[in-house]
A = this chain, B = another copy of it.
Amino acid sequence: MHWYQKEISLTAKRRGFHLVTDEIFRQIPEIKAIQKGMANIFIKHTSASLAINENADPTVRIDMESHFNKLAPENALYYRHNTEGPDDMPAHLKSVILGCSLNIPITGGDFNLGIWQGIYLCEHRNNGGSRRLVITLSGE
């Protein structure tokens, strides 16, 4: 039985949906020691989130940004939390809709993802900066 836990950073990204499977994977070589288990990826922020979706066509990620800007628009008249800029309250809303952690099965030392699945960093701020993740791996 293995437990492995570490904190890693993702480089600063512009607002939008970004494929980060490889940027995460290369920072956790310890995953190779696990034949069957689970990976938890947790983002320690309230205005960026994590998701899993299509890894091939970049227009999917563009459409996600467009659509989430409709689902959680800037400057809604009923927002009271607006002192940190028009992108701030929508960022919190997108974060709870998408979620702050992923749980991915590990099989044979690798993420057991579907062929079209990749990990997204969803950056909801205009200038969110580098983002901090906790990775916890367990298994045998």
Give bound CA distance, A89 to B65, whole Å. 12
Number of interface residues of A (CB under 8 A): 60
Contact B105 A46 (CB under 8 A): no
Number of copies: 3
Which residues does chain B contribute within 8 Å of A64, judged by CB atoms? 92-93, 96
Contact in complex: A37, B3 (CB < 8 Å)? yes
What chain B residues lie within 8 Å of A127 (beta carbons)? none
Q: For the complex, give the distance between the alpha carbons of A139 and B136 in Å.
A: 10
Question: Which parts of A105-140 form the interface with B (CB within 8 Å)?
Answer: 105, 107, 112-117, 120, 132, 134, 136, 138-140
Contact in complex: A67, B76 (CB < 8 Å): yes
